[in-house]
């Protein structure tokens, strides 16, 4: 299973899903929202894609045509055939900071989404290691306290999609 994403911060999410949650997706750094959608819904290069909703921008046409199959406070899932797009609402940074607040943690990286977006907008390895540490902490605390936050929701959704695809492949 191939997991497409837009940016370095999304790659950090992929890293947590793979190495903390034990999910086996291979990664595809698609570089932009439009490219993630194309790689996933149009060209079939990926089975799953992760994008930000970004309410101030128009979504790609194929994303608008995709069927909504699930929606939580933080994540919406859209699908065409057996390809799924996971949409973080409104953006990864807001989801992360809201999740930290929900479980009673405070990020050491930034206190507001715009500041976090700028912090993560570079390829600086140390910054992304710090973000992964906080994502891991968020996941572990949310599990321990049984509080759903975006990263635990993503884990559940990716597992669900993988199960559906495995079931569909067994039917063939």
- Where do the structural domains in the chain lie, given as residue ranges? 2-171
Contact 93, 120 (CB under 8 A): yes
Give the rounded percent of residues in the chain with a pLDDT score beyond 70. Answer: 99
In the predicted model, is pLDDT for residue 168 greater than 90? no
Q: Element (H or E) spanning 26, and its range?
A: strand 26-29
Global pTM exceeds 0.85: yes
For residue 96, pLDDT beyond 90: yes
pLDDT band for position 166 (cuts 50, 70, 90): confident
The answer to whether 63 and 53 are in contact (CB under 8 A) is no
Q: By three-state DSSP, how is residue 76 classified?
A: strand
What are the tens digits of pLDDT across the range 45-68?
A: 999 999 999 888 888 999 999 999
Going by pLDDT thresholds of 50, 70 and 90, the confidence category of residue 172 is: low
């Amino acid at each position: 299973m191939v997991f497409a994403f837009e940016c370095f911060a999304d790659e950090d999410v992929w890293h947590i899903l793979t190495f903390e949650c034990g999910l086996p997706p291979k990664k595809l750094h698609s570089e932009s929202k439009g490219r993630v959608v194309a790689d996933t819904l149009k060209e079939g290069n990926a089975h799953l894609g992760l994008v930000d909703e970004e309410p101030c921008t128009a979504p790609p046409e194929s994303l608008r045509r995709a069927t909504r199959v699930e929606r939580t406070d933080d994540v919406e899932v859209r699908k065409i055939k057996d390809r799924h797009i996971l949409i973080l609402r409104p953006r990864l940074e807001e989801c992360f900071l809201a999740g930290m607040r929900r479980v009673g943690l405070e990020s050491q990286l930034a206190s507001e989404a715009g500041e976090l977006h700028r912090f993560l907008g570079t390829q600086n390895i140390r910054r992304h290691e710090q973000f992964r540490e906080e994502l891991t902490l968020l996941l572990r605390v949310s599990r321990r306290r049984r509080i759903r936050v975006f990263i635990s929701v993503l884990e559940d959704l990716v597992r669900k999609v993988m199960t559906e695809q495995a079931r569909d492949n067994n039917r063939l």
